């Protein structure tokens, strides 16, 4: 293992206080070590400094051998000045006060007095800097510049051009972070404005981030606009459950309704970014189609009943159903829900027919790479991809399926020189920065994977004409996959040869000294797999359960957190199964097409309404406290499973989700070491082997 090189340190003086900082660290960051703050507008710590706004001016000098200090004649921008030996910095002088007042006075000349109606009011850096550093009055009496207000850049982002201070943060984000470069500055001088090229829609998959990093109210959220003030909102930390990345977020809500989602910093997962699906998709929790009371079918109608009656009806049927019962769970339940499900149905009721997967060709446990090759299907953390030397993306559009992982791969390629290869049936965002890329014919994934294995093993590519690739393209892909961290997703299991492709890619990683990752796509798929929400011995998978239900071989079916009509299954098969099963339990938080077929409907809390932990694609367990109040008589899924379990056999109940997670950490080997305490903060990472 190579030794980690030490970062050289330099001695600097800040306001007559001597400190040591890493050589090259920007002064705007170095002064924070003393608890000081330098005002900024254009600077952002995750983007390259440009020194556009001049708000961060500081006085700079250098210390000579005799200890004398020679000051530079003019202030310098702290955001673009690296620390060097003997540097002397002054951040609080009368000269700087004058300069900062001048910068702010200049910015405010044409800035509208919109604070009473601006969505940024109360959390605006321009507002704050003006109060701390700006002039008390304005000398400008002429007419202000006017521009169109509330111009829609997209369905999510609204531009108020009058407020723009031309800091360039939004433009630089699309160029440096998301990589789509959709925004640019048009025109010059007072007419300069951020906009898309050719005035098309701002269609970035990460457009919501520009709203957060805008230091004024120029870029606002169309969804949040005029809905609330910061002081009207309650804000709590949460975990995004709309994909498997497990992004950390702040949830702003008012009167139990979600008003806004902002990114929350977790350096190991999403840094501070969000995708648009996560930032704007949570408004679905505000639906009025909530299930708030237990319902029991009486004739052709579902009638409200007490929990005791609903539980008794469920228990009467499932108590002796055994192998004629089945459970299908959705991908958004917590680890506690999944573990409680397994303990009830598999351990207590002896039901082997349990599954959470909906791909077309579900793998069998005996054919998994864990069983056949002795390796894990997850071998890299998200943060690894910013520093690994080589990455190969196979058969997945990362920006769509794993958006935050995409940002990390792009960061490695653009900032650290990571060599990226990509093979997909169509062009993807990764292609833009890949050093080797190829577009193969759809359906030829297995042939290509085998050809790549042959190529890296020294046997040539073999027969690969069906892929539509040339020998040169195959050779370039083989070189880029050799020793790389391979990324694919469980989307491959929608292909007939999915299991074979996964095994072949894992063999390539083994043969070349690389790593292999077949990542989950949905919220807590990884947690469900590790908790054992998969068929037991002689058990049926999702498709087999539905086929058996349609044939009358399954008499009792429990659906937990899933609408079978919305997960990509054949609608006719689903309908036949639900019509023919004798007893159907639908446990969910929202009415769906499936609900109409239910014998019993059990109200469940939505993900943001209950305490619980979630395992993201890299097997990081993160605990989330309830964010918004629950609706009606809804219960966490684990609490319902526990109630049924205790009616079967009396025991000491679990009182909260934290207790269950502690139990999971001791009873389920894959979760060894996980606990409520360890899962807080940046989360607890499970072993990858």
Residues 378 and 480 both lie in one domain: yes
Higher pLDDT pick, 381 / 63? 381
**Token pair of 510 as six digits:** 């083994």
Residues 263 and 299 both lie in one domain: no
The predicted pLDDT at position 1 comes to 33
CA distance 148 to 158: 11
pLDDT tens column, 172-219: 999 999 999 999 998 888 788 899 988 889 999 999 999 999 999 999
Confidence band (pLDDT; 50, 70, 90) for 2?
Answer: very low
Q: Which of the residue ranges 201-215, 459-473, 585-599 would you say has the lowest mean pLDDT? A: 459-473
Residues 268 and 373 both lie in one domain: no
Residues contacting residue 308 through CB under 8 Å, at least 6 positions apart: none
Neighbouring-strand partners of residue 559: 328, 586
* Residue 426 in this model has a pLDDT that exceeds 90: yes
pLDDT tens column, 246-256: 999 999 999 88
Residues contacting residue 267 through CB under 8 Å, at least 6 positions apart: 383, 682
Residues 280 and 333 both lie in one domain: no
The H or E element containing residue 421 is strand 419-424
Residues contacting residue 627 through CB under 8 Å, at least 6 positions apart: 236, 237, 238, 251, 253, 608, 609
The mean predicted confidence, pLDDT, of the chain is 93
Residues 581 and 641 both lie in one domain: yes
Average pLDDT of 452-459?
89
The predicted pLDDT at position 468 comes to 93
State the CATH number of the domain containing residue 468: 3.40.228.10
In the listed set 495, 523, 551, which residue is the last one of a domain according to the structure? Answer: 523
Tell me, yes or no, whether 350 lies in a domain.
yes
Contact indicator for 586, 595 with CB cutoff of 8 Å: yes
Neighbouring-strand partners of residue 77: 57
Q: Tell me the helix, strand and coil percentages in the chain, rounded to 5.
A: 35, 20, 45
* Residue 5 in this model has a pLDDT that exceeds 80: no
- Residue 294: helix, strand or coil by DSSP? coil
- CB burial of 138-156 (b: ≥16 within 10 Å; e: otherwise) equals eeeeeeeeebeeeeebbeb
Residues 282 and 304 both lie in one domain: no
The predicted pLDDT at position 17 comes to 95
pLDDT tens column, 70-86: 999 999 999 999 999 99
Contact indicator for 195, 189 with CB cutoff of 8 Å: no
Q: Give the residue carrying structure tokens 């500081």.
A: 58
Burial degree of 231 (CB within 10 A; 0-12, 13-18, 19+) = exposed
Contact indicator for 172, 414 with CB cutoff of 8 Å: no
State the CATH number of the domain containing residue 145: 3.30.70.20
Residues contacting residue 553 through CB under 8 Å, at least 6 positions apart: 324
pLDDT tens column, 597-614: 999 999 999 999 999 999
Contact indicator for 619, 530 with CB cutoff of 8 Å: yes
Average pLDDT of 256-273?
95
Residue 110's domain comprises 103-221
Contact indicator for 222, 119 with CB cutoff of 8 Å: no
CA distance 300 to 274: 45
Residues 673 and 549 both lie in one domain: yes
Average pLDDT of 157-169?
93
Tell me, yes or no, whether 375 lies in a domain.
yes
Neighbours of 19 (CB within 10 A): 15
Burial degree of 253 (CB within 10 A; 0-12, 13-18, 19+) = buried
* Residue 115 in this model has a pLDDT that exceeds 80: yes
Residues 517 and 545 both lie in one domain: no
Average pLDDT of 518-544?
95
Confidence band (pLDDT; 50, 70, 90) for 461?
Answer: low
Residues 370 and 518 both lie in one domain: yes
Residues 338 and 409 both lie in one domain: no
Neighbouring-strand partners of residue 614: 622
Cα–Cα distances (Å) from 8 to 24, 82, 83, 493, 561, in that order, read 9, 13, 11, 49, 53
CA distance 498 to 445: 9
Tell me, yes or no, whether 248 lies in a domain.
yes
Tell me, yes or no, whether 478 lies in a domain.
yes
Contact indicator for 440, 468 with CB cutoff of 8 Å: yes
Neighbours of 541 (CB within 10 A): 21
Cα–Cα distances (Å) from 27 to 34, 125, 172, 260, 345, in that order, read 12, 20, 21, 33, 59
- Residue 467: helix, strand or coil by DSSP? helix
State the CATH number of the domain containing residue 237: 3.30.200.210
In the listed set 199, 221, 243, which residue is the last one of a domain according to the structure? Answer: 221
How many domains is the chain built from?
A: 5
Tell me, yes or no, whether 573 lies in a domain.
yes
Confidence band (pLDDT; 50, 70, 90) for 123?
Answer: very high
Residues 473 and 383 both lie in one domain: yes
Residues 187 and 84 both lie in one domain: no
State the CATH number of the domain containing residue 26: 3.10.20.740
Neighbours of 185 (CB within 10 A): 14
Phi and psi for 417 in degrees, rounded to 5? 75, 20
CA distance 69 to 49: 27
CA distance 138 to 115: 16
Tell me, yes or no, whether 98 lies in a domain.
no
In the listed set 92, 126, 154, which residue is the last one of a domain according to the structure? Answer: 92
CA distance 187 to 190: 9
Average pLDDT of 458-486?
90
Tell me, yes or no, whether 605 lies in a domain.
yes
Tell me, yes or no, whether 528 lies in a domain.
no
């Amino acid at each position: 293992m190579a030794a980690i090189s030490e970062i050289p340190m330099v001695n600097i003086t800040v306001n007559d206080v001597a400190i040591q900082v890493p050589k090259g660290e920007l002064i705007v960051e170095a002064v924070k070590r003393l608890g000081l703050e330098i005002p900024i507008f254009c600077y952002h710590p995750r983007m390259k400094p440009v020194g556009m706004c001049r708000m961060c001016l500081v006085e700079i000098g250098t210390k000579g051998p005799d200890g004398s200090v020679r000051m530079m004649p003019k202030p310098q921008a702290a955001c673009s000045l690296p620390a060097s030996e003997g540097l002397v910095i002054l951040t609080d002088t009368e000269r700087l006060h004058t300069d900062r007042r001048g910068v702010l006075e200049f910015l405010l000349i044409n800035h509208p007095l919109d604070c009473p109606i601006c969505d940024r009011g109360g959390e605006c850096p321009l507002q704050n800097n003006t109060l701390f550093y700006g002039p008390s009055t304005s000398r400008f009496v002429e007419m202000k510049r006017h521009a169109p207000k509330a111009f829609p850049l997209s369905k999510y982002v609204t531009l108020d051009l009058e407020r723009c201070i031309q800091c360039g943060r939004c433009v630089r984000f699309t160029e440096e972070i998301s990589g789509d470069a959709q925004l640019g500055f048009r025109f010059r001088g007072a007419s300069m404005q951020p906009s898309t090229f050719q005035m098309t829609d701002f269609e970035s998959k990460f457009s919501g981030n520009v709203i957060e990093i805008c230091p004024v109210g120029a870029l606002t959220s169309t969804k949040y606009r005029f809905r609330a003030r910061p002081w009207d909102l309650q804000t709590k930390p949460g975990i995004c459950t709309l994909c498997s990345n497990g992004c950390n977020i702040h949830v702003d809500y008012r009167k139990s309704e979600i008003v806004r989602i902002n990114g929350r910093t977790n350096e190991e997962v999403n840094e501070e970014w969000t995708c648009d699906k996560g930032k704007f998709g949570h408004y679905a929790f505000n639906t009025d189609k909530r299930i708030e009371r237990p319902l029991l079918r009486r004739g052709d109608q579902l009638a409200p009943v007490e929990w005791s009656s609903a539980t008794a009806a469920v228990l009467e049927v499932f108590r002796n159903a055994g192998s004629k019962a089945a459970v299908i769970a959705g991908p958004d339940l917590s680890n506690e829900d999944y573990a409680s499900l397994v303990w009830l149905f598999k351990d207590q009721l002896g039901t082997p027919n349990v599954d959470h997967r909906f791909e077309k060709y579900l793998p069998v446990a005996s054919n998994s790479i864990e069983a056949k090759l002795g390796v894990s299907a997850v071998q890299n953390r998200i943060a690894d991809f910013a520093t690994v030397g080589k990455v190969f993306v196979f058969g997945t559009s990362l920006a769509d399926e794993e958006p935050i992982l995409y940002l990390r791969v792009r960061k490695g390629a653009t900032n650290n020189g990571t060599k990226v290869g990509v093979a997909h049936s169509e062009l993807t965002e990764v292609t833009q920065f890949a050093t080797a890329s190829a577009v193969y014919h759809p359906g030829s994934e297995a042939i290509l994977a085998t050809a790549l294995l042959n190529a890296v093993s020294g046997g040539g590519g073999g027969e690969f004409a069906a892929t539509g690739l040339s020998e040169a393209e195959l050779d370039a892909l083989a070189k880029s996959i050799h020793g790389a961290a391979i990324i694919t997703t469980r989307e491959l299991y929608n292909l007939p040869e999915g299991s074979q492709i996964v095994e072949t890619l894992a063999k390539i990683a083994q043969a070349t000294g690389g790593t292999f990752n077949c990542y989950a796509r949905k919220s807590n798929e990884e947690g469900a797999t590790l908790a054992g929400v998969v068929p037991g011995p002689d058990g049926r998978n999702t498709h087999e359960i539905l086929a058996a239900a349609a044939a009358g071989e399954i008499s009792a079916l429990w659906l937990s957190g899933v609408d079978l009509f919305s997960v990509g299954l054949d609608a006719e098969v689903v309908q036949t199964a639900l019509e023919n099963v004798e007893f159907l339990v639908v446990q969910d938080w929202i009415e769906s097409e499936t609900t109409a077929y239910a014998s019993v409907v059990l109200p469940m809390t939505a993900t943001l309404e209950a305490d619980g932990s979630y395992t993201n694609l890299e097997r990081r367990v993160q605990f989330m406290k309830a964010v918004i109040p629950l609706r009606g008589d809804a219960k966490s899924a684990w609490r319902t499973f526990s109630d049924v379990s205790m009616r079967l056999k009396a025991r000491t109940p679990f009182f909260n989700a934290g207790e269950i997670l502690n139990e999971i950490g001791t009873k389920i080997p894959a979760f060894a070491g996980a606990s409520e305490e360890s899962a807080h903060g940046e989360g607890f990472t499970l072993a990858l082997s």
